[in-house]
Structure 1
Amino acid sequence: MRVFSDLTEYNKYLNLHPPLHPLMDSRVCKEAIPNFPQTSEEIQVNLFRISLKKNFTGDIKYGRSQYYTENGLMLFTEPGQIASWDSLTFWDGYAFVFHPDLVKKSAIANKINYYKYFSYEISNALFMTPAEEETVTWLFTKIHYELLEKKADANIEVILSLLNVILTYAELFYERQFKEKSSNPISISLKIKSILQNHYNDFSQPVKSIPTVSSIAGELNLTSNYLSDLVRAETGKSTITIIHEFVTEQAEILLLQTDMNISDVAYQLGFSNIPYFSRFFRKIKGTSPSEIRNQRKR
């Protein structure tokens, strides 16, 4: 697998001109994309990339992910992510690509670490309203022309300021998107509960392990970070809290309604360490498994 940590080499792979600045580059998509190789094996890109895709309607497919939109969307990728494509779909908009060194000495570096959307998958793109798209387009345009006109002499502080505004708006727009998704007829918390119920639907034999945020996110075709943000927007809780509360409810049912000893209850639910199960249960319920079992004997 080829690895790109240099803007010049990355642009060369994409059949593009050398970057406008040693640490960053801005592209007008409708001009750049026709030059791209139509197919690409997996490549690792150790650069930050922010894309604004607009002016297209229909099903857009990237690898195995497919989605439909009539408005613009934004995508964020961080260094180390893997990309590949079988064919290209043409779109309008901008792409801003920059080396991590551009922001290392800036407060933006901490913001990027805080904003989880850089690790979202393609299917978790930011779908914008027309007003949001207009705002972001203006910011991308300012960055592009600052680089296009001044190239290596571009004012880095100006560009970082514009980048900071884009990232701040993206966080706000994602919050709006999370709230809209959480108001859907089938909420994300109900989907999680359904997965957990299926995991523990047969008490005739022990389960192999306790569900994790990662395993549930995988079943929902979401990244763990995106799932956690959706859950927090809807419930105010973390995904792991919802999982742990469900597991302790199952434990309480077994303790109150069966003759299984505490060790068997723990094993049944996917715990291999009995002391850990007791600490886990007490942390969630505020009481021990033994105390719950004693309630059954009264």
Structure 2
Amino acid sequence: MSNIQHLKTIQEFHQTRGLPSPDHPLISVVDYSEVQLQPEFFDCSWTLDFYLIALKRNIGGKVKYGQQTYDFDEGVMFFIAPGQVFRIEQPTGSSTERSGWMLLIHKDFLWNTPLAKAIKQYEFFSYTIHEALFVSRKEEDTLMDLISNIKREYHANIDRFSQGIIVSQIDTLLKYAERYYNRQFITRKQAGTQMLEQFERLFTAYFSDDIASEKGLPTVQYFAEQLHLSPKYLSTMLKTLTGQTAQQFIHKKLIELAKEKLSITKLSVSEIAYHLGFEHTQSFNKLFKNKTSLTPLSFRKSFDLN
């Protein structure tokens, strides 16, 4: 099993990547072409005590996005939050062609600013590396302007305005990233539709193969693992396609299945609840009434099965 390398400071990151010491201990913009990737980097996993936002170009070969693989010549963005475990993919292209930037932000730099809390609300920090954000040349230029502003500001003489100005640039960068992710979900609708079809098949199999009796109620985590997606990414994709989060969508499918069993079978409510994975019948009754304004028995009576 591979070991995990833990980097606590931006200084340590610079040292392990063969870079000169950072100009600021809590924030740094790194030229990706200057990063020295040693062979041992690919034999372990990494975790950081700071945020890493990167845009890389010419990373070599194909890029896997969800269940699909694409050739993509434009920039690829990744977002890594403190404490996340990740691996560096072995590059397959020429290292001399690599380009892009990495923005490193220590948590302490955001202390006592609105962004310290707001940055945790951006779901793309919970996506995995194969759910990267692809940006066009025009979008990349917009982001590069912000990165250049950040770099210029912390290279200048630090004063009482510096932190606020830099934080506002980071906040703007994240808002643009959110916009571009939303665009990506829309433009890759075909891949999303295929994912939705797979989700539907997995949901049907969960009950037809009696997985519910072993695992209980179906969870977002279960479907995310089966689809090789992170739970956050799956939820965002479903929200774009259906208007519902993954949890809401699962509940909708559960209620549809419950209605079917209540209307065409004579199974008791407790038997139906058990078949759907509920540990307690009361929990099933509560969810059903919350979603339909009726109890399961009231719904069944409308079909005169009892």
Distance in 2 (CA, whole Å) between partners of 1:170 and 1:44 is 22
1:276 pairs, out of 273, 283, 305, with 283
Q: CA deviation at 1:174?
A: 0.9
Q: Residue 21 of structure 1 contacts residue 152 of structure 1 at CA under 8 Å; is this kept in 2?
A: no
2:178 pairs, out of 171, 174, 178, with 171
SS of the residue aligned with 1:200?
helix
Tell me the equivalent position of 1:70: 73
Give 1:283's aligned amino acid.
N
Distance in 1 (CA, whole Å) between partners of 2:299 and 2:168 is 57
> What runs of 5+ residues in structure 1 fail to find an aligned partner?
none
Tell me the equivalent position of 1:257: 264
Matched, 1:235 2:265: no
Distance in 1 (CA, whole Å) between partners of 2:133 and 2:106 is 22
TM (normalized to structure 2)?
A: 0.86
Distance in 2 (CA, whole Å) between partners of 1:188 and 1:86 is 24
Give 2:275's aligned amino acid.
Q
Query: What aligned pairs does 1:33-112 form with structure 2 within 5 A after superposition?
Result: 35-40=36-41, 41-55=44-58, 58-60=61-63, 68-85=71-88, 87-88=90-91, 90=95, 91-112=98-119
Post-superposition CA distance 1:204-253 (Å, at most 9, x none): 99464221111111222211111111111222212111111111111122
1:150 pairs, out of 152, 156, 162, with 156
> What runs of 5+ residues in structure 2 fail to find an aligned partner?
none
Post-superposition CA distance 1:108-130 (Å, at most 9, x none): 22321221111111111111122
Q: Residue 139 of structure 1 contacts residue 166 of structure 1 at CA under 8 Å; is this kept in 2?
A: yes
Q: Residue 49 of structure 1 contacts residue 96 of structure 1 at CA under 8 Å; is this kept in 2?
A: yes
Q: CA deviation at 1:151?
A: 7.8
Post-superposition CA distance 1:125-175 (Å, at most 9, x none): 11112211121122223323444x438779333322221221111011111
State how many pairs are aligned: 293
Distance in 2 (CA, whole Å) between partners of 1:99 and 1:243 is 37
Tell me the equivalent position of 2:200: 193
Question: How large is the Cα RMSD of the aligned pairs?
Answer: 2.7
Distance in 2 (CA, whole Å) between partners of 1:28 and 1:55 is 14
Give 2:5's aligned amino acid.
R
Tell me the equivalent position of 1:29: 32
Q: CA deviation at 1:60?
A: 4.7
The runs of 4+ residues in structure 1 deviating greater than 4 Å are: 151-154, 202-207
TM (normalized to structure 1)?
A: 0.88
Matched, 1:288 2:295: yes
Distance in 2 (CA, whole Å) between partners of 1:155 and 1:205 is 55
SS of the residue aligned with 2:193?
coil
SS of the residue aligned with 2:79?
strand
Distance in 2 (CA, whole Å) between partners of 1:87 and 1:3 is 19
